[in-house]
Chain A
Amino acid sequence: MPKHPLSRIELLQGTLDFIILQTLRWGSRHGYGIAQMIRATSNETLQVDTGSLYPALHRLERKKWIEAAWDLSENRQRVRVYRLTAAGRKQLAVERTRWEQISQAIAGIMRPPSTETKS
């Protein structure tokens, strides 16, 4: 399989869920749109594999964090759009708090102590 010029970052399952919920915060969106949005907002760094995206969407739907409805796209095609539910919003808040804690913790670990740095 040809490599994408920007090396793809594998997303952990929980992280993908978080990103999807975050993406849907600004309104309902279809699967393709979510993928495009993630790619765009991450400056093309994050490439969501469809094999991860659709199971994640259906899983979140099953958990009732998002719900789906049929809509028509710009070129008059029936598309399935997803939007956040109240439970999804709540979950998003939880995930965000958790994410901030984790990213701070990781940042702390990654930042090398100044005394031991050699340049």
Chain B
Amino acid sequence: METYYLTAHQLRDKLKKKEISCSEITKSSYRRIEEVEDKVNSFIRLEKESALLKAKEVDALIASGGSVEDLTGIPVAVKDNICTKNITTTCASKILKNYVPVYNASVIEKLESRNYILLGKSNMDEFAMGSSSENSHFGPVRNPWDVNRVPGGSSGGPAAAVAAGEAICALGSDTGGSIRQPASLCGIVGLKPTYGMVSRYGLVAFASSLDQIGPLARDVEDCALMLNVICGHDENDSTSINKEIPDYRSFLKPDIKDLKIGVPSELMVEGIDGEVKEKILKVISMAEDMGAEVEEISIPSLKHALSVYYIIAPSEASSNLSRFDGVRYGYRNTEARTLRKMYRKSRAEGFGDEVKRRIMIGTYCLSAGYYDEYYEKARRVRTLIINDFKKAFSKFDVLLSPTSPTTAFKIGEKTEDPLTMYLSDICTIPVNLAGLPAISIPAGLSKDGLPIGVQVIGNVLREDNILRVAYSLEKAIGFNDRPGL
């Protein structure tokens, strides 16, 4: 029996009832990987041997009366910028090609405490910089719905793996939309938690004030149960929030009666594909049918979100990526005879173009004489955006928008035009700037058979609201198409 397209909560129930073993589940996922991995390239590294061994262990554990919890024995794909002890963590970069962490990220520790199965490390845009997963030293990831198209990015590997049935669910990271946009383009569910809800310890930093780890799965319930496992205070991360974690599954009720939903007009006009807009409007009318109050709202400062993001994120990145210098670990050019040359050559040869572009932008924005004009100004506008969101949430429970302005584009289509590529994240970026939680769920397919996603944004720490709305809409939409791989 093939189980690879089941969800984590379905498999949990089957494991509990002893209808299936963890080894069978794991083997089924690897059979699927063998079948489609050549086409999608969603993994940088597979951990088949240790995964099957672990699956046996878990089966023995269950047989001897061990409890089956959420994610126990579930095959999960982990984005390759999340540190896994003794298993390479490359960030899809040549500079970390052979880097083996000596420690586990805090989220990995949490998953291990549940006896999850690590399938492998997922492909991505190098250092999570990109919206198409084409910027990988290990080759581009392909969209399971059309392998000539991109899966989105930067968590393109995790999204494609879940959409293609290679993984039951996955962990990704989201700095400007890197979970939600690929989830949208691959027709799955992706959730970015409130900044500080999930520990960043062990997530290789791109932009520290924006990065957040989150789940990708095939339904809202799986996202909620993953959230239950990965959330929580961590003393190793100073920005981690110390607050009691609710049971996120308790919010999964198909009821949004009297809920107030705002639709920011700034996220519905410019550059939004007609078919995407149409689909979102359809979702809005479904929400209204269920008794929610939907209203348009204008948040003018959102116009500046993209510019603010492309100053703050590269600035932080330019500093975060300084440590990759060939001195202690990672790629080193061994021909250089002086220290400066070793730095220059190691970095010039180790980083890809997009990473270099952002390091240069960031270095420029922070340099003497430009700091006030760029970084400081961006910080102030960011505060405006935060305040505007606060105002909006005094009136609305959630905000609703497209996740991505378009469906999946062709591989190579935007690689020569970074600015157009950056526009892919126009609807998701404001959420990171304000540290808000947001989820993307499939709203349906375009005429070309490509997935369209709808984004639900909540106020800080109001994961309950976005889960409730997403769950209700998921039931109403009834999306259950599969890519024809």
Asked if A pairs with B, the answer is: no
